[in-house]
């Protein structure tokens, strides 16, 4: 138990933010769980569980839901941001004027900022400045399993070693093993690119093309991840670790993955709108595909799988065209 730690603020009360809040609260840590949606917070306070995104997990007393951002961060050492990438920049803009103390900022979102095509740690550095060195949490973790107390392993990456070590101490436990790294770009790149590969893998399985085709697709996708990620500055060993290959295996092969479920639905004949309605939550890979293609194009890199998936998502190609591309 880690009751001696100061409270932590978690910004974002979706499934992942809630799962991390549950995990930390069960270890005796006070968690301020923030959302800008006052109706969402009212429901969390009334029900003492997140019935919308993570039903069936009662909140310990240590979880304190709030829609008051200033109150959420008061007296904390650590702020974890688990906001979908579409709202990430705006959340930081809201956060900046109420930050009066030096705190550690940890990004738990896997995505790219659409406004400037930046990784999210770069958005943190741009808006909050060097006083708040950004770290990222990534790896093969499903929210429901973390909330259920099942074992997992993840990675915290950051360029400030003292910050990363402090965050590791807060999160590491016998059931949630935390490795550390200074390869922030490699960790973020792996977490973003695997979302697109997971959509593609779901399409292969939705088309019922079998295990051979699935393995071929994932191999080519992983090669694309390595090529783009290392060109951006990530280290090869990062991509064969938890935040690269580990996260890819989880996201591409298990139906808990929203990105995989999107691909499955499309492979079975659903439209984009029908698939999104079925899933009902943000699907990062849908946005990631376009941003990866644009990012690769500016750097004169090839991203054939990401380009194919983008064309399918934009209605410029059929799901079955993936077969011809693959073989």
For residue range 302-315, what is the model confidence (pLDDT) as tens digits? 999 999 999 999 99
pLDDT at 104: 97
Element (H, E) at 235: none
Q: Walk me through the domains of the chain, giving residue ranges and CATH numbers.
A: 8-182 (3.40.50.720), 189-326 (1.10.1040.10)
Give the confidence band of 266 by pLDDT, cuts at 50, 70, 90: very high
If you average pLDDT over every residue of the chain, what do you get?
Answer: 95
1 has a pLDDT exceeding 60: no
130 has a pLDDT exceeding 90: no
Are 309 and 317 a contacting pair, CB within 8 Å? no
CA-to-CA distance for 225 and 74, rounded, in angstroms? 39
Task: Compute the average pLDDT of residues 33-57.
Answer: 97
79 has a pLDDT exceeding 80: yes
CA-to-CA distance for 317 and 212, rounded, in angstroms? 23
pLDDT at 3: 57
Task: Compute the average pLDDT of residues 117-143.
Answer: 95
Give the confidence band of 283 by pLDDT, cuts at 50, 70, 90: confident
pLDDT at 101: 78
- pLDDT tens-digit readout, 139-194: 999 999 999 999 999 999 999 999 999 999 999 999 999 999 999 999 999 999 99
pLDDT at 114: 82
Matching residue, tokens 């609260």:
25
* Cross-sheet strand order for the sheet of 8-11: 63-66, 31-34, 8-11, 78-81, 104-107, 134-138, 152-158, 176-181
Are 167 and 41 a contacting pair, CB within 8 Å? no
Q: Percentage of the chain with pLDDT > 90?
A: 89
pLDDT at 280: 85
244 has a pLDDT exceeding 80: yes
Listed residue (66, 65, 64, 115) closest to 92, CA to CA: 115
Residues in the chain: 327
The burial of 69, by beta-carbon neighbours within 10 Å (0-12 exposed, 13-18 middle, 19 or more buried), is given as buried
Listed residue (316, 86, 311) closest to 200, CA to CA: 311
- Residue in 194, 277, 286, 316 annotated catalytic: 194
User: Strand, helix or coil at 6?
Assistant: coil
Active site residue 194: yes
pLDDT at 296: 92
Name the DSSP class of 50.
B
């Amino acid at each position: 138990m880690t009751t001696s730690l100061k409270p932590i603020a978690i910004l974002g009360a979706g499934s992942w933010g809630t799962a991390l809040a549950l995990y930390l609260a069960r270890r005796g840590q006070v968690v301020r769980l923030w959302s800008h949606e006052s109706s969402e917070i009212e429901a969390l306070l009334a029900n003492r569980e997140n019935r919308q995104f993570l039903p069936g997990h009662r909140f310990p007393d240590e979880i304190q839901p709030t829609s008051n951002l200033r109150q959420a961060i008061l007296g904390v050492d650590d702020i974890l941001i688990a906001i979908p990438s579409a709202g990430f920049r705006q959340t930081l803009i809201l956060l900046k004027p109420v930050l009066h103390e030096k705190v550690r900022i940890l990004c738990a979102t896997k995505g790219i900022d659409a406004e400037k095509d930046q990784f999210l740690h770069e958005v943190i550095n741009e808006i909050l400045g060097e006083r708040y060195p950004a770290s990222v949490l990534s790896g093969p973790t499903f929210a429901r399993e973390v909330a259920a107390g099942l074992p997992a392993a993840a990675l915290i990456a950051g360029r400030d070693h003292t910050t990363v070590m402090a965050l590791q101490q807060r999160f590491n436990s016998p059931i949630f093993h935390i490795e550390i790294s200074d390869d922030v770009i490699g960790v973020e790149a792996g977490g973003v690119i695997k979302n697109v590969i997971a959509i593609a893998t779901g399409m292969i399985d939705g088309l019922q093309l079998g295990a051979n085709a699935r393995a071929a697709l994932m191999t080519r996708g992983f090669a694309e991840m390595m090529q783009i990620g290392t060109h951006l500055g990530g280290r090869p060993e990062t991509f064969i670790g938890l935040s690269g290959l580990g996260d890819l295996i989880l996201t591409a092969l298990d139906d808990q993955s929203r990105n995989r479920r999107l691909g499955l639905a499309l492979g079975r004949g659903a439209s984009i709108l029908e698939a999104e309605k079925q899933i009902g939550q943000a699907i990062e890979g849908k946005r990631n595909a376009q941003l990866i293609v644009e990012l690769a194009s500016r750097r004169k890199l090839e991203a054939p799988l990401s380009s194919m998936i983008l064309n399918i998502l934009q209605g410029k190609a059929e799901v079955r065209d993936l077969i011809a591309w693959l073989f």
